[in-house]
């Protein structure tokens, strides 16, 4: 008898958490399923959204656009709201995976987000029908003032033998090739076999000097003085400077990537109205400010920027650079399956060399 009892208890214990997944309180007004980058908003804002609207947020995270895409394409999991980058939004639009937004339900978007960001979005969303900008920024060089000499203003410093074993490169195809293509004066959206070959060869030549290829870890390694120079997203730069005042961020003179990550809604979103409410909530100035302060990625929300108290942050050339000062800025475009394949093959050659 005792045995049966303990087996019953055990199976109950095992089954309970499972049954929990099915039908937990889905909020009085339903739910919204959000698929966002890792550490890309202040978790408190999700709570506030739930309290204010009674909509439960199911929140899931991804590390790269490329990991997110197949999940959305196959429809294995139904998501309502995504936050992909520019070129991935274009790919999603091309493959008919996004729903047009009803901006009447998202009044905060048009009211608060600066016109220049809508303008920039037309590169991948020509009529501004599908996306609402959430974060933007540049890619540049983060360097440790105590470990370099001379001025750092060019991608070429990443090929300088002085800094052998002190360089951190981005471990993703497009970002790595962007650096190499820009350094050679080519477009970072190049599909020219010759240009890509040159870029690849340069990356191979650079490899012995590189300490490691990293994605998010560049932040911790630079803070910990592990390397002198690293390629980094501008949003991480402010955070690293707070932790280690020796660090300085620069946009190289050869030009760089200006990127935007935007909220979009999937074509088959089960909760489209809630999704629009969610996006609208994220565009509210106080919420956008809260998120900016938490993740330190530049916000396109002008009203939120006005609310920033510290002058040096509000006018920070890292967070809010005057883009007209720089030349050769570009935004990634989706290059099609064949070009993607070519990039991946070349990158594999670099990595295996």
Q: Which spans of this chain sit near another protein (rule: CB under 8 A)?
A: 64, 66-67, 69-70, 171-173, 207, 210-214, 221, 224-226, 340-341, 344, 348-349, 351-352
Angle of helix 193-206 relative to helix 173-183, nearest 10 degrees, comes to 100
Please state the closest distance from residue 333 (CB atom) to another protein, in A: 17
Please state the closest distance from residue 352 (CB atom) to another protein, in A: 4
Please state the closest distance from residue 329 (CB atom) to another protein, in A: 25
Please state the closest distance from residue 16 (CB atom) to another protein, in A: 18
| Residue (86 or 171) nearer to another protein, CB | 171
Please state the closest distance from residue 21 (CB atom) to another protein, in A: 17
| Residue (64 or 154) nearer to another protein, CB | 64
| Residue (211 or 296) nearer to another protein, CB | 211
| Residue (96 or 310) nearer to another protein, CB | 96
Please state the closest distance from residue 295 (CB atom) to another protein, in A: 22
| Residue (17 or 322) nearer to another protein, CB | 17
Asked if residue 230 lies in contact with residue 218, where contact means CB atoms within 8 angstroms, the answer is yes
If DSSP states are collapsed to H, E and C, what string results for the chain?
A: CHHHHHHHHHHHHHHHHHHHHHHCCCCCCCEEEEEEECCCCCHHHHHHHHHHHCCEEEEEEECCHHHHHHHHHHCCCCCCEECCEHHHHHHHHHCCCECCCCHHHCHHHHHHECHHHHHHHCCCCCCCCCCEEEEEEEEEEEEECCCCCCCCCCHHHHHCHHHCCCEEEECCHHHHHHHHHHHCCCCCCCCCHHHHHHHHHHHHHHHHHEEEEECCHHHHHHHCCCCCEEEEEHHHHHHHHHHCCCEEEECCCCCCEEEEEEEEEECCCCCHHHHHHHHHHHCCHHHHHHHHHHHCCECCEHHHHHHCCCHHHHCCCCCCCCHHHCCCCECCCCCCHHHHHHHHHHHHHHHHC
Please state the closest distance from residue 220 (CB atom) to another protein, in A: 10
| Residue (129 or 348) nearer to another protein, CB | 348
Please state the closest distance from residue 206 (CB atom) to another protein, in A: 11
């Amino acid at each position: 008898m005792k045995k049966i009892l303990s087996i019953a208890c055990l199976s109950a214990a095992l089954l309970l958490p499972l049954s929990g997944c099915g039908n937990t309180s889905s909020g009085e007004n339903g739910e919204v399923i959000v698929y966002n980058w890792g550490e890309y908003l202040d978790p408190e804002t999700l709570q506030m959204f739930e309290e204010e609207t009674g909509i439960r947020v199911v929140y899931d995270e991804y590390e790269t656009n490329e990991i997110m895409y197949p999940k959305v394409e196959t429809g294995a999991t139904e998501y309502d709201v995504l936050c992909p980058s520019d070129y991935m939004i274009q790919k999603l639009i091309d493959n008919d995976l996004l729903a047009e937004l009803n901006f009447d339900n998202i009044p905060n978007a048009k009211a608060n987000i600066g016109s220049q960001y809508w303008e920039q979005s037309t590169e991948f969303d020509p009529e501004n029908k599908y996306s609402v900008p959430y974060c933007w920024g540049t890619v540049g060089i983060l360097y440790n003032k105590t470990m370099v000499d001379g001025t750092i203003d060019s991608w070429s410093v990443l090929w300088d033998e002085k800094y052998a074993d002190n360089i951190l490169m981005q471990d993703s195809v497009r970002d790595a090739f962007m650096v190499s293509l820009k350094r050679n004066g080519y477009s970072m959206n190049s599909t020219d076999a010759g240009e890509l070959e040159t870029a690849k060869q340069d990356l191979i030549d650079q490899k012995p000097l590189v300490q490691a290829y990293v994605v998010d870890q560049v932040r911790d390694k630079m803070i910990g003085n592990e390397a002198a120079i690293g390629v980094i997203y501008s949003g991480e730069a402010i955070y690293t400077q707070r932790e280690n005042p020796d660090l300085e961020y620069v946009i190289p003179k050869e030009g760089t990537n200006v990127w935007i990550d935007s909220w979009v809604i999937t074509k088959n979103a089960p909760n489209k109205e809630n999704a629009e409410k969610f996006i609208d909530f994220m565009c509210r100035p106080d919420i956008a400010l809260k998120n900016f302060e938490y993740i330190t990625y530049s916000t396109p929300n002008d009203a939120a920027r006005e609310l920033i108290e510290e002058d040096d942050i509000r006018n920070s050339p890292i967070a809010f650079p005057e883009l007209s000062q720089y030349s050769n800025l570009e935004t990634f475009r989706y290059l099609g399956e064949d070009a993607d394949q070519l990039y991946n093959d070349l990158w594999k050659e670099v990595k295996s060399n």
